[in-house]
Structure 1
């Protein structure tokens, strides 16, 4: 089943349960997917593109959460946290720090990287291989730690 179909089913469930936060979150995701389809002009939308949309939406909510928390607006920060939890349900299982480090060690061995000079080569491969399984910031931090 496609992500769009799963989102549509979840929207129906949220409507039945009168879950406003889930409904708002899921409608936002569906709108982004439909926008991507419109921009693709009939071309098939890949799973990687759908995952990228979800990751971007989670990042936006994390940024908003941090801003609201810094301003002492816990009411708005709580809404952002709830929306993140709803969206995260549709992402693939995220790698733990240990699993991420193991994956990146194998990528470093595969590319033959030895120092920070090879950062771009490792990051390019890691970003492709680990897309959807970890966020770019975590990947970058781990690569830098292992190459230094």
Structure 2
């Protein structure tokens, strides 16, 4: 089942259950998917990779907003962002732990023959392909920098 169809069904369920927090998150996902479709310039279904990227972008926006609201002591807005983030993350693939990411980055470094920080682009490109949707780019970048600095 396509993500958009699943979201539509879940929106109906959330409306019937009067679950406003879930409904907000689902509507945000639906809006982002529709926007991504129109940006492409075609009414065709999005690829699974594109859908994951859209969801990751939404999750990142929610995390950043929540962080700002928390710094400004706006707990009401912080709570809304965290509720929406939970809904968005439920549609993302299971995120890998830091240790699992480190193991994969070490393999990529060995495969590419990277020797230091100058090879970061090569390592990041290959790692991002392997971990698409399973890890946050910021976390991957931190791990790659640390491991390459240690080589």
Deviation at 1:65, TM superposition (A): 0.6
Partner residue of 1:61? Answer: 62
Deviation at 1:43, TM superposition (A): 3.9
| Unaligned ranges ≥5, structure 1 | none
Q: Provide the C-alpha distance between the structure 2 equivalents of 1:44 and 1:25, rounded to a whole number of angstroms.
A: 21
Q: Provide the C-alpha distance between the structure 2 equivalents of 1:99 and 1:5, rounded to a whole number of angstroms.
A: 32
Partner residue of 2:128? Answer: 127
Deviation at 1:42, TM superposition (A): 2.9
CA deviation string 1:15-48 (max 9, x = no partner): 1110111101101111111121122213441111
Say whether residues 1:31 and 2:60 are aligned partners: no
Deviation at 1:8, TM superposition (A): 1.3
Partner residue of 1:93? Answer: 94
CA deviation string 1:45-87 (max 9, x = no partner): 1111111111111111111111111111111101111110011
CA deviation string 1:87-127 (max 9, x = no partner): 10000000011111111111111111111110000011111
TM-score, structure 2 as length reference: 0.94
Partner secondary structure for residue 49 of structure 2: helix
Structural RMSD (CA) = 1.0
Partner secondary structure for residue 32 of structure 2: helix
Deviation at 1:128, TM superposition (A): 1.7
Say whether residues 1:84 and 2:81 are aligned partners: no
Q: Provide the C-alpha distance between the structure 1 equivalents of 2:101 and 2:47, rounded to a whole number of angstroms.
A: 24
Partner secondary structure for residue 34 of structure 2: helix
Partner residue of 1:116? Answer: 117
| Unaligned ranges ≥5, structure 2 | none
TM-score, structure 1 as length reference: 0.96
Partner residue of 1:5? Answer: 5
